[in-house]
Structure 1
Amino acid sequence: MQPIDIHRYAPLFVVMNAASGSQDSQAVRETVEREVHRAGRSVFFRMLEPGQDLSTVAARAVQQAVEHHGIIVAAGGDGTINAVAQAALGKDCAFGVLPQGTFNYFSRTHHIPADPVEAVRLLLNTREAYPVQVGLVNDKVFLVNASLGLYPELLEEREAAKQAHGRSRVVAMWAGLRTLLHRHRHLRLTLQMESGALGKRQQTIKTPTLFVGNNQLQLEQLGMPEAPRVSQGQLAAITVKPQPTWRMVWLGVKGLFGRLGEADEIVSFPLRDMVVQPLLPLGRRRIKVATDGEISWLTPPLRFSVASMPLNLICPTPAAFEQSQQQSTGT
């Protein structure tokens, strides 16, 4: 798919979650306003206030961006970016990011600067938005990953730790290891996938978690061989064979050191479309699913797929990124 053009005076519509990340949102807002006005452009903010629904705020901002031929911008962590991307997918507007999260996998993958000044200047000076792949689980967007089982529990523990001890990678990693020390229930999942000329193939597995990745950087950091498939129009699925608690902790350590893909206990495979039917306890109709760190309850079956339409992202071209790297290193 071809990039879309951006008008040189396109206004910016910024959705900002004041609770995201460790940076001061007011300082970021002032930086954005200063740079935008210096460039002779317009910017409109939609600040997420306590009690407001992020998806509703994002949908209204996207509607305004489309009506005014503007740029929709997500300012926050991966969860905020996900909500705005959900509203922007399939809409005729460019999508920008001002990263303010802890890991910022999406922005780092696409070489979007973490510095607010550099990030907003990228939004102002770029004249094309480039198509990037979006993952779906049923109708929920995921740009980084989607998961069920142990991984959503890990995310909830991590968020609680951040609330108590602040947002940092050390806190996040410690919370993850602590979650692995607990006993966890195994899921029984029936997986159905397309298998070329053979039609559909189906298998039933028992696993503590199913993780589907859509971010090459995160998969590379885990040491997964499927990481390059994400840039080739596929997703990467990871499951774990049932293990004792101490072994799960060891797998977590291997993941921290980028060697998870070497473990015999890990089963991973690429996919474009997969239907998952979990065996739920009697009386339960929904299952907890995490998408880019945000928890929701979805009704099975769960269909994991690559969206038919991309997100039109404002990011450096490979040539521009390489040039900036050379300038920063003095080569």
Structure 2
Amino acid sequence: MPIPECPPLPVPDIDPAAALLFVINAASGRHDADVTRQVIETALLAAGRTGELLFAPPDDLVRVAQRAARMATERRTAVIAVGGDGTINTVAQAAHAQGCALGVMPQGTFNYFARTHAIPTDPAAAAQALLRGAPVAIQVGLINDRVFLVNASVGLYPQLLEDREAYKARFGRSRLVAFGAGLVTLLGRHRQLRLRIELGANAREITTPTLFVGNNRLQLEQVGLSQASALDEGCIAAVMLRPIGALAMLGLIWRGAMGTLGEADTVESFKFQRMRVKPRRAWGRRTVKVAFDGEVSRMSMPLQFQVSPQPLYLLKSRAEPAVSDAEQGHT
């Protein structure tokens, strides 16, 4: 079902003399904050630009991001997200709502959004790149009224993220810890979701441990899903699993690691622009845990997944292609 036509917000007009607004997650230690400040100030000085650094504790991040986005619109400047996927999502939500430009300095573990848009994961290089960038319209997804840049999902994936954060708190932040936590979750017992999904006039009932919606080419391509091309068509991709046991799940993990997940007969994927998801029975669950860009929250059913009619304006070079894993040294 096509998204209703509506005029997009105009491309933000940025005044190079206006101070950029950096929203920084202050959850890291004092040393990391000092390093971040030094990197930003050095890049600003070299470019002859000015900036305002807004350090926000996690429980105040939403308010600070919203205030910064309003100020960016009023001052004809951009708001810059400095942090991991959750921080970037929060600032992107505010920037999208205001129609102002967003810059990104990634500090996460996987950085799918940054890598897809050729944003360096090195802080100094990222700061220099955004200072050279111009606002470019990019596609974002919505789950109800919440923006997601990379993915949104219900079922197994939110549980995986909660377990991963618990393991990181205990063993430290690294890709190895994240992979190990995910392995433990995926091989455990899974609660099945009984859902009704509606795609325009078509509806079907499904039973699945997880429903995953992706808006990131790199992530979809890494695991071998052909629906990555849906993003070129103004769509997003849905992935769901048939109910399977631990041994079959182990096989899927292997396929994902090898980039052949799309070949598994227990995996179904399809592209769409708008999808409504609700409990199969009228008296089913009223709220559900939802994961979006690495964060987990509860949302009321039904859920509406869709391509946002309004783009997000990201500071990036129009000429630079997406950066591959090899180019950034990832495995």
What's the TM-score once normalised by structure 1's chain length? 0.90
> How far apart in 2 are the matches of 1:215 and 1:124?
24
Q: Which runs of 5+ in 2 are unaligned?
A: 1-7
Match of 1:104 among 99, 111, 116: 111
Match of 1:174 among 161, 176, 180: 180
Hey, what does 2:197 align to over in structure 1?
A: 191
Identical aligned pairs, as a percentage?
Answer: 49
1:178-205 Cα offsets, whole Å, 9 max, x none, are 00121111000101002xxxxx100000
Hey, what does 1:315 align to over in structure 2?
A: 316
Matched AA of 1:9: A
> How far apart in 2 are the matches of 1:313 and 1:242?
39
- How far the C-alpha of 1:285 sits from its partner, in A, is 2.0
Name the SS for the 1:63 alignment partner: helix
| Correspondences of 1:105-120 after superposition (within 5 Å) | 105-120=112-127
User: For the Cα contact (< 8 Å) 1:273–1:305, is it kept in 2?
Assistant: yes
Name the SS for the 1:183 alignment partner: coil
- How far the C-alpha of 1:251 sits from its partner, in A, is 0.9
Verify: 1:224 aligned to 2:225, yes or no. Answer: yes
User: For the Cα contact (< 8 Å) 1:20–1:101, is it kept in 2?
Assistant: no
> How far apart in 2 are the matches of 1:302 and 1:248?
26
Verify: 1:137 aligned to 2:143, yes or no. Answer: yes
Name the SS for the 1:53 alignment partner: helix
| Correspondences of 1:116-131 after superposition (within 5 Å) | 116-126=123-133, 128-131=134-137
1:69-102 Cα offsets, whole Å, 9 max, x none, are 1110000111111000111114242110001000
Hey, what does 1:250 align to over in structure 2?
A: 251
- How far the C-alpha of 1:212 sits from its partner, in A, is 0.2
Q: Which runs of 5+ in 1 are unaligned?
A: 195-199
Name the SS for the 1:226 alignment partner: helix
1:33-74 Cα offsets, whole Å, 9 max, x none, are 122133332211221225x23211211111121121111000
Matched AA of 1:181: L
User: For the Cα contact (< 8 Å) 1:90–1:310, is it kept in 2?
Assistant: no
Q: Which deviates more from structure 2 when the two are superposed, residues 65-74 or residues 264-273?
A: 65-74
Match of 1:66 among 73, 90, 97: 73
Q: Which deviates more from structure 2 when the two are superposed, residues 61-70 or residues 35-44?
A: 35-44
Match of 2:33 among 25, 39, 54: 25
Instruction: Give the aligned length.
Output: 316
- How far the C-alpha of 1:280 sits from its partner, in A, is 7.5
> How far apart in 2 are the matches of 1:281 and 1:42?
55
Match of 1:34 among 14, 38, 42: 42
Name the SS for the 1:205 alignment partner: strand
Matched AA of 2:20: L
Match of 2:24 among 16, 25, 41: 16
Matched AA of 1:261: G
Hey, what does 1:197 align to over in structure 2?
A: none
Name the SS for the 2:70 alignment partner: helix
Closer/same/farther in 2, CA of residues 187 and 210 from structure 1, 3 Å limit: same
> How far apart in 2 are the matches of 1:316 and 1:130?
8
> How far apart in 2 are the matches of 1:20 and 1:69?
30
Verify: 1:163 aligned to 2:164, yes or no. Answer: no
